[in-house]
Amino acid sequence: MAVLESGFIVWGYLLLYVLLTAAYYAWSAYRDRRDRGTGRTTRPAGSAREGSHDG
Amino acid sequence: MAESIVLGGYLLLTVGLGYLGLRMTKNAEDYYIAGGSLGWAVGGASIASTQMSSGLFIGTIGVVYAVGWSFAWVVFVFPLAYWMMVAVIAPRFTRQRKVSLPDFFEARYYSRAARVIAAVIILVAFVIYISAQVIAGGLIANVVLGVPLNVGMIGFTVIILLYTVIGGMFAVVYTDFLQMMIMIVGAALAIPAVLQHVGGLANLFALAEGANPSMFTWDGLPPSLLITLSLAFFLGAVARPEQLVRFYAMRDMATIRRGIGFVIVLVGVAHTLVFVLAIGATALFPALGNGDLAMPVLAEYALPAFLGTLLLTAVASAMMSTVSSILLVAGTALAHDIYGIIRPSSSPRRKVMIGRLGTVLTGLVPLVLLILGVGAGQLVQFIVALFSALMGAVFLVPVVAGVVWRRATREGAIASMIGGLVATIGWRVFGDTDLIDPVLPGFTAALVLMVATSLVTAPPPAEATDPFFADGPERTGAPAPGAPAGSR
């Protein structure tokens, strides 16, 4: 079965990408917790509007 | 009929989002950076769709068709590059909310000259890059709609200009979001149709391997070449002006981190879908003379009319999302960073008007030159081939040094930008580009010049570096909320 024999070059790629994404989200969550814990404001100074525009 | 519905609906939605942007734009800060109010979903999708140009749907699929899946591993540079951007660059880069990369250079390097040099490099490189995209847009219109090339180029430019000029950054990011979703949906819906043609996933892999024996081996792109190529891609991806400005457009650091997470997911999903389509093209059309034809051929001959048009709309979306972002950044360089210095304006309405005028000019100049027959030749190809390398060689060092090395001086930044530019173009002209990508000598020259020049010149004044390096809460040292954008 070529689909399985393609092996690491395909399935390793997919697995590594998922692991890398998970690692990023873990790091991001850690930084969020750390910022909240230290009471840091993460809002940049300037004239940003209130509220989000996520459509 | 199906083609008209898909294309017509897409164009209507795009222009409608431009109108929404117009309604939301009240001042120059809205026009250039969407008022700094973007959330993670729109901001992230906008970064991802700006990164994915027509190169993904035409060039990348063609390379995978030709050399096999080993090329897919280059994609890992993007999550790593974005992670570096958000971990290393963004926290200090966004401490003061600016509206452009040249703006940041002026503040951090206490130098208007650094700002103008960066703006001129952006303007020239981006305008020439846009002209190549206009030719590609005209060709797609020519193939899909059968209109003459010039009419296609004019239509392509007018549509992008329409929503970018009237709606500014709001229109650009909302259309980016729409275009990103079309790219994912278009590619995702095409895969079941391809699987149906070949008789399932197992057959797909077997047929592709039969057609191209190196499809699932490292022979197509040996690891040594893969590493060199990945390094060049990485250096070209980290400090792109059109990406960095989105950090100013997003609300805060937590939003930027969440947005970059979304970028990593979207980049992975979109690229993987395109790689599977490349396997499909290899299995179904193993004898294409040119890999760049893989996507158009797949859309034309392997998919039903509706899906084929949706896939070609995804290609157009990839192109338009990149061009509109580049157009806005080039327009900002002209209107805000060059004209804004020569004739500062205090009226918010006038600032927006000048911003729109800058975008119109940067969009029309390449079109007019192309119609007059200027710039369609080697210069355009030369710059496009160099574009990513130029971004890495010119901007990466002064951006990163500006946020990690307090001792980096304005003389170092200027020497670094000019040295990176000269070394990259010099290597492209005189060096062996098959052996070493121009970004590597360009980046090395920029780094050496930044360090050496900074060390032999007077240290930067504390008032320039304190806003970016001083201890204390993140993002302090900027003007009070409500200050007009141009005053920063």
* Backbone torsion region of residue B168, taken as left when φ is above 0, otherwise alpha when ψ lies between -120 and 50, otherwise beta: left
Of A13, A21, A48, the CB nearest to B72: A13
Q: Report yes or no: B218 at the A interface, CB cutoff 8 Å.
A: yes
- Residue B175 · residue B18 · CB < 8 Å: yes
Can you give the pLDDT at residue B353?
87
Our measurement of the distance from residue B66's CA atom to the centroid of its chain's CA atoms, rounded to an integer in Å, reads 25
pTM: 0.90
The per-residue pLDDT for B375 is 60
Rounded Cα distance between A39 and A36, Å, is 5
CA dist., res. B79 & res. B87, Å (int): 12
Instruction: List the single residue in A with minimal CA-CA distance to B82.
Output: A24
Interface check A43 vs B, CB under 8 A:
yes
Q: How far apart are CA B367 and CA B361, in angstroms?
A: 10
d(CA B294, CA B312): 12
Residues B380-412: b if buried by 16+ CB within 10 A, e if exposed: beebbebbbbbbbbbbbbbbbbbbebeebbbbb
- Torsion (CA) B452, B453, B457, B463 in degrees, nearest 10: -110
Which residue type does B346 have?
Answer: S
CA closest to A4 among chain B residues = B202
Taking CA B441 as the corner, what is the angle to CA B436 and CA B444, rounded to the nearest 5 degrees? Answer: 135
> By the CB < 8 Å criterion, does B257 face chain A?
yes
* Touching A: B residues 103-162, CB under 8 Å: none
B473 close contact with A: CB closer than 8 A: yes
Query: How far is A52 from chain B, CA to nearest CA, in Å?
Result: 5
B259 contacts in chain A (CB < 8 Å): none
A31 touches chain B (CB under 8 A): yes
Give dist(CA B487, CA B65) in Å, integer: 51
Instruction: Give pLDDT tens digits along chain B (488 positions).
Output: 777 788 889 989 999 999 999 999 999 999 999 999 999 999 999 999 998 887 788 888 888 999 999 999 999 999 999 999 999 999 999 999 899 999 999 999 999 999 999 999 999 888 888 888 888 888 778 877 788 988 988 999 999 999 999 999 999 999 999 999 999 999 999 999 999 999 999 999 999 999 999 999 988 887 888 888 888 889 989 989 999 999 999 999 999 999 999 999 999 999 999 999 999 999 999 988 788 888 888 988 889 888 888 888 888 888 899 899 999 999 999 999 998 888 887 687 888 888 899 899 989 988 888 888 766 556 556 666 688 888 999 999 999 999 999 999 999 999 999 999 999 999 988 988 878 888 999 999 999 999 999 999 999 999 999 999 987 555 433 433 333 333 32
Top residue of B214, B475, B476 to mutate, by most chain A CBs within 10 Å, is B475
Is B210:A5 a contact under the CB 8 Å cutoff? no
Q: Do B38 and A54 touch (CB under 8 A)?
A: yes
Q: Which residues touch B244 (CB under 8 Å, ≥6 apart)?
A: B85, B89, B93, B101, B104, B399
Nearest C-alpha of chain B: how many angstroms from A8? 9
A21 and B79 within 8 Å at the Cβ level: the answer is: yes
B317 and B94 Cβ atoms separated by less than 8 Å:
no
Which residue out of A5, A28, A30, A38 would a mutagenesis test of the B interface target, given it has the greatest number of B Cβ atoms within 10 Å? A28
Mutate to test the interface with A, among B205, B218, B272 (most CBs of A within 10 A): B205
CB nearest A41 (choices: B170, B209, B474): B474
Query: Torsion angle, CA of A9/B225/B315/B195, rounded to 10 degrees?
Result: -20
Q: What's the gap in Å between the CA of B354 and the closest CA on chain A?
A: 20
The C-alpha torsion from B97 through B98 and B103 to B104, rounded to 10°, is 30
Q: Write down the pLDDT at residue B486.
A: 34
- Using the structure block, give the residue that is written with the tokens 């062996």: B432
Chain A 1-30, residues with CB within 8 Å of chain B CB atoms: 1-3, 5-7, 9-10, 13-14, 16-17, 20-21, 24-25, 27-28
The Cα diameter of chain B in Å comes to 69
Element (H, E) at A26: helix A13-37
Tell me which of A40 and B431 has the higher pLDDT: B431
Q: What was the pLDDT predicted at B371?
A: 84
CB contact under 8 A, A42 and B268: no
B139 contacts B394 by C-beta, under 8 angstroms: no
Name which of A3, A20, A31 is nearest B205 (Cβ-Cβ).
A3
Cα B404 to Cα B447: distance, rounded to the nearest angstrom: 13
Give the ipTM. 0.89
Q: Give me the amino acid identity at B29.
A: E
Residue A47: the pLDDT is: 44
Provide the pLDDT for residue B80: 97
* pLDDT reported for residue B480: 36
CB pairs under 8 A between A and B: 153
Is A42 close to B97, i.e. CB distance below 8 A? Answer: no
Amino acid at B368: V
Residues from chain B that touch A33, judged by Cβ atoms under 8 A, are none
